A and B are shown apart, each in its own frame.
Chain A
C-alpha cells in the first residue's frame, strides 16, 4: 500500500523558515517524480514544486521560486521542501504527491502538513 506521510509544519513568523518532509513507503520511491501541492484555508489547490526521480531536475511555481527548495533522499525514501522567507500568503496545508508517470499526473497524496505564517 502506498503511503505518504508529511511532517514539519507549524507556526512560523513572516521571514522564517521550515523544512517539510514526506516519508514514502509501499512503492519504489526512486522511480517516480514527486510534487508538493498546497491549499490555503478555504481555497483551491496550487502546485508548488516537483522533482524528478533521480533528483537532478526540479521545477517551481513562480510564487515560490527562489524561496523554496525541493530535494529528495532516495536512500531514505524521503522528499523534502525547504521553505524560506515565508510570507503570510504561504499559509496553507502542504501535500506531497507521487506522480504515476511523467511529472504531473499525481496518483497518491499524503494527508498534508499545515504551515501557518503569522506574527
Chain B
C-alpha cells in the first residue's frame, strides 16, 4: 500500500495568513493526488484534484502543486470558513489511501 504522510499534523494560523500543508507519498503517484477539506460533523469536500486542478466551486485562494512524491496545498489568505481538517489522498493505485489529516485552528 502507498503511505501518505502529511505535515504538520496541526497548525494554528490567523485570518489573512498564507498557509501551506505538505503531503508525501511513499512512492511515486505521478499527479494522482487529491485534497479534501472536512468540517466537524460533515462529509469531506473535494478541493483540488490531480495535484493542481481546482474543483468547481472552490475559491481560488486554494491551490495545489507537486508531482511524484511531494505535494503541497496552499491557502493564500485564510478566511474564517477555512478552519477545518485537510486530508490528502492518492488515487493512483488500489487501495486508495489518505494522509492522517492536518487540523487547521484559529490562532
Interface residues of A (CB under 8 A from B): 35, 37, 44-47, 50, 59, 61-62, 95, 100, 102-112
Contacts and interface: CB of A to CB of B under 8 A. Distances in A.
Contacts of A104: 89, 91, 94, 96
Interface of B: 32, 34, 36, 38, 42-46, 49-50, 55, 87, 89, 91, 94-101
A93 B26 CA distance: 27
Contacts of B42: 111
Contacts of A62: 95
5 contacts: A44-B99, A45-B98, A105-B46, A107-B49, A109-B45
A35 B44 CA distance: 13
A102 B29 CA distance: 15
